Structure 1
């Protein structure tokens, strides 16, 4: 049996034997004491926390009691996994309190030499660029924890200069270099979306959140239905169409060279800023108020150069 195959089987064995000694491994896998010791070192290198207890009745303890599930991947699948991790290398702020380069290094060290060389060649041949986080976010892990634990939170949103006494958080979003959190103000039953780096005085409350994920999403859909929506329409150049495909928001769609969609009053200023990002690749057609405000913003920009 090859060493890589034996290590995988040993991981399966240790999943059910958190206390063991060398004789157990030697008997189970038909290996020598020296090989068993080398295997233990290799298992520690791939992340298993193994504690050695010396003495006549000593042995080994597996400190991490979480399930150890060996998964076999093909070379193509392994390459795809490393490409995905590499694509996230600029995401220095994430909700998991983990460094993606460190994860990639640990995974790479667990691979046989041949597969490791393939991954190294791919990393040299393929690159992926994504906007890194504009702001550092210390709250991401705590926000995710509150979402998964279904607990209410309290915070002040500098973005809206507002204190939310009790809120249920639902989702973290990463877009254009910023992390956002969505939720419901339990006191007012109003949906919100705030930038995570603009949350201060954050506190996780002992109260349980009132809604399941499905109930939450249903309430938000009902709230959106009840809000008055305004239709808008723009004309895009070819370059503008490509920009739309790279970055657009829910409620928008592209029909030929026409950008059409709807907006609500709360999103009006965001929409104006979004449309201005198209530069000369867009012409705002309707409604008349949006067209007037768009032109006014353009005049304000031009006035900076007078």
Structure 2
């Protein structure tokens, strides 16, 4: 076996065991302890995260973060990965920010010179823009760790009304309009809640509370589906001009609810939880004269009140 192949296999074995002795490795590979010691020294010099432990029961141990063995990428795959990372650059914060930056530098460094020149020419030419929102990347990382390690998190959360400390079990995290959101089971309220990550003032893993498997079965797509199905529903009907229809295409909240006409205009018929009516009407309000609410009467009255308040402001 070539030395390069042996070093890769050593990495894989140590990744799997995390704690090994030179003798164990020598027996497994059929080599002398001296050869294994030299190989371990070579791995350490190229940055493989192991350290030696002296004394009885000593050996070599892997640092907390493991290193993957070399992965062969096609040139086109490396370029695709580079731009996948670049597409996240305008987020105010990321749960894996440090790792993304170092990985990006590695991809760029090992690309052929001609490909790097091509990428350099595309700088500031391809951008996936997101509104910049300031928040703690450390808190995002803690939420992500809790999901991966199946742990509960203690947070201090600032809502519109108060700051509370509560224990939550995150279901997932997702980004929308530059904000990060975390649907989770709240042990304080004993129900599911949606938390905005920038309002989390502090977050730490909590080992004292048992992880719930039933919560883990949910995803960011259906985290509150059972509860929503039990809520009282109401039908929101809105006539929208062709210009208004184009505006709500990027909204996402009215997907599959628009009946389109030949001239591009349409009618929204959305069955929504009654308690969320104000939220949806506020989105319709943003369309201005491009939309007219037909029903329910509560939504029409809500718009009339907003118009009257606005009119009084300019008296």
What's the TM-score once normalised by structure 1's chain length?
Answer: 0.71
**Change beyond 3 A, Cα 1:133–1:193:** same
Q: Secondary structure of the residue that 2:133 maps to in structure 1?
A: coil
Deviation track 1:115-172 (CA, whole Å, cap 9, x = no partner) reads 3223223335433322222545552112222233332535344235363644322121
> What residue is the counterpart of 1:276 in the other structure?
285
**Partners of 2:237 and 2:296 within 8 A in 1:** yes
Q: Does 1:229 align with 2:230?
A: no
Is residue 11 of structure 2 the alignment partner of residue 15 of structure 1?
yes
1:5-154 matches, within 5 Å, as 12=8, 15-16=11-12, 66-98=66-98, 100-123=100-123, 125-136=125-136, 138-148=138-148, 149-154=150-155
Return the offset for 1:203.
4.9
Aligned to 1:58: none
Q: How many Å separate the matches in 2 of 1:108 and 1:69?
A: 19
- CA RMSD, aligned part only? 3.8
- Aligned partners of 2:49 and 2:65 also within 8 Å: no
Partner of 2:305: 296
TM-score for both structures, normalised by structure 2: 0.69
Deviation digits for residues 14-69 of structure 1 (CA, Å, limit 9, x no counterpart): 6348799xxxxxxxxxxxxxxxxxxx8xx95xx75699xxxxxxxxx997872524
Cα drift, residue 82 of structure 1? 2.2
Partner of 1:167: 168
- Measured in 1, the distance between the counterparts of 2:127 and 2:153 equals 41
Aligned residues: 272
Shift of 1:226: 0.8
Work out the CA distance in 1 between the residues paired with 2:141 and 2:147.
Answer: 10
C-alpha change, 1:283 and 1:48, in structure 2 (3 Å) is farther
2:163, 2:126 → 1: CA distance?
Answer: 45
Matches within 5 A, 1:205-224: 205=206, 206-212=208-214, 215-216=217-218, 220-224=224-228
Which of 260, 267, 271 is the equivalent residue of 2:269?
Answer: 260
Task: Tell me how far 1:198 sits from its aligned partner.
Answer: 1.8
Deviation at 1:271, TM superposition (A): 2.0
Supply the distance in 1 between the matched residues of 2:129 and 2:201 (Cα, whole angstroms): 31
Q: Does 1:238 align with 2:242?
A: yes
- 3-state secondary structure, aligned to 1:179: strand
Q: Residue 174 of structure 1: CA displacement?
A: 1.3
1:91-134 per-residue CA deviation (whole Å, 9 max, x = no partner) reads 13111242745542232002222332232233354333222225
| Cα pair distance change 1:282/1:102, threshold 3 Å | farther
Rounded to whole Å, the distance in 2 between the matches of 1:114 and 1:11 is: 31
| Unaligned runs of at least 5 residues, structure 2 | 15-20, 23-41, 52-60, 261-265
Indicate if the aligned counterparts of 2:134 and 2:198 stay in contact, CA closer than 8 A. no
| Range with bigger deviation, 270-279 or 222-231 | 270-279
